[in-house]
Amino acid sequence: GENVEQHPSTLSVQEGDSAVIKCTYSDSASNYFPWYKQELGKRPQLIIDIRSNVGEKKDQRIAVTLNKTAKHFSLHITETQPEDSAVYFCAATQEGAGGTSYGKLTFGQGTILTVHP
């Protein structure tokens, strides 16, 4: 099955700095990679996702890059703000017809991001 490794486990930055979180995956069949943000005691919320037919996707201060050959993808947050402080999870799954792996998100271990004012 799929295995997703996420680094770093904790990340502390100053407001305005950039933050980068990296994930690697093991199953070359995985082709959909979402990122979720989870604030303390709250539900995970999708912030951005990428499919394997593109190498980069950007949404305002958030971007995700994907390297299929190396099987890794990264989340980039620019101009960080205190409200960006949360736990961030990457995930991977396989889109495609059939198979029990379809739609099954495998999550990384999470990164605790702290943005200091």
Partner 1 sequence: EAGVVQSPRYKIIEKKQPVAFWCNPISGHNTLYWYLQNLGQGPELLIRYENEEAVDDSQLPKDRFSAERLKGVDSTLKIQPAELGDSAVYLCASSFSLAGTTDTQYFGPGTRLTVL
Task: List interacting residues with partner 1 (CB under 8 A).
Answer: 4, 6, 32, 34, 36, 42-46, 49, 89, 91, 93, 95-97, 100, 102-110
Give the nearer residue to partner 1 in terms of CB position, either 42 or 116. Answer: 42
Residues in the chain: 117
C-alpha to C-alpha distance for 38 and 21, rounded to whole angstroms: 15
* DSSP 3-state of 43: coil
Report in angstroms how near the CB of residue 94 gets to partner 1 at its nearest: 8
Neighbours of 44 (CB within 10 A): 19
Give the nearer residue to partner 1 in terms of CB position, either 2 or 78. Answer: 2
Q: Position of tokens 């379809």?
A: 102
Give the nearer residue to partner 1 in terms of CB position, either 18 or 109. Answer: 109
